[in-house]
């Protein structure tokens, strides 16, 4: 059977793995979710995401910019103003990442319950009776 794409993410040497690594990152999903609404300044992104460090936000924005998903615009003002926005390529991710966020929110209770059951079974297996 012929594939639609010449790449296979299950091949250890496939360059598409780098893309999968980037978009599977929680910070990427949260940043793209915020930029989908409107262009944002760095401090606004950091405030809206909440627990992201300045270093992690900087690194993630640079990766997204390098991969063509985010555009960084510096305005010649005093003080300089920098805004980030999604590129047309970045906008193509919004629907897929929103679906993942929706799935996470819809299923978190079942996941927490499963984690608690697993942890309880693990404790019983370790603890002597």
- Domain range 16-126, CATH class: mainly alpha
| 25 — pLDDT class (breaks 50, 70, 90) | confident
List pLDDT tens digits, range 90-106: 999 999 988 988 999 99
**Domains of the chain, residue spans:** 16-126
List residues bridging with 73 in a β-sheet: 83
CA-nearest of 7, 33, 11, 6 to 100 is 33
Which DSSP symbol is given to 63? Answer: H
Threshold 0.95, pTM exceeds: no
């Amino acid at each position: 059977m012929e594939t639609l794409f010449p790449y296979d993410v299950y091949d250890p040497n496939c360059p598409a793995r780098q893309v999968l690594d980037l978009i599977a990152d929680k910070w990427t999903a949260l940043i793209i979710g915020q930029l989908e609404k409107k262009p944002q300044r760095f401090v606004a992104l950091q405030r809206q995401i909440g627990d992201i460090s300045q270093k992690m936000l900087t690194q993630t924005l640079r990766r997204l910019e390098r991969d063509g998903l985010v555009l960084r615009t510096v305005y010649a003002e005093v003080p300089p103003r920098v805004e980030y926005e999604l590129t047309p390529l970045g906008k193509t991710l919004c629907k897929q990442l929103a679906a993942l966020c929706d799935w996470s929110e819809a299923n978190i209770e079942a996941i927490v319950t499963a984690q608690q059951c697993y942890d309880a079974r693990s404790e019983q297996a370790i603890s002597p009776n």
